[in-house]
Amino acid sequence: MTGRIGSAAALKVIERMGGVNSGEDALTGGFFGPGQVRTQNVSLELTEKSGSVQYPAVHVYCEKVVNDQKEKFRSFSGRVQMTIEVRYTQDRLDGLQDALEIYADAATQALNASRGDWGDGMSYNGAYEVSFGPAKHGGKNFVQVAKVTFEIQASRN
């Protein structure tokens, strides 16, 4: 049951990534294409080795499922912790963080626009946390990652 809830929540987030497309488009003049958004929790190094990565890359995945049993007669009633991980690369360190912040901001704008009932027993209250990792070697030369973490409330029989 918990794996299906995590996968279903990831698909709900991907549906809302259309908001990232339009928000990011307004901010940067581009958009996240189909090959750039994945529902995988995979390390940067593995995606680089696979050779099929397109930047900016967005990975949406479930980090944790907690059955709080808030609704006692449901088989699942709790929280699903989700992550939108945005990876950006360029050949120079100058401006790397600034560009990554634009893409992370686009993701948070999509979440802000998606508050409320998501259907299928899921809802989002609008809270999120953004963390930025250090720049590393990878991609075109340097790569940096931003993680947007948030919780979805879920209730299922």
pLDDT at res. 64: 96
Please determine, for residue 21, whether its predicted confidence score (pLDDT) is greater than 60: no
Q: What is the mean pLDDT of the chain?
A: 86
Q: Find the helix or strand (DSSP H, E) in which 101 lies.
A: helix 96-112
Map out the domains of the chain as residue ranges.
2-156
pLDDT at 47: 82
Whether the per-residue pLDDT at 25 is higher than 50: the answer is no
Phi then psi for 105, rounded to 5 degrees? -65, -35
What is the residue type of 94?
D
- pLDDT higher at 150 or 51: 150
Determine which helix (DSSP H) or strand (DSSP E) holds 87, and give its type and residue range. strand 76-90
Pairing of strands 129-132, 136-138: unpaired
> Looking at the domain 2-156, which fold is it?
STM4215-like (3.30.2000)
Give residue 157's Cα distance to chain centre.
26
How far apart CA 136 and CA 152 sit, in angstroms, is: 31
> pLDDT tens digit string along 55-96?
898 999 999 999 999 898 899 999 999 999 999 999 999 999
Look up residue 86 and give its two tokens. Answer: 């945005």
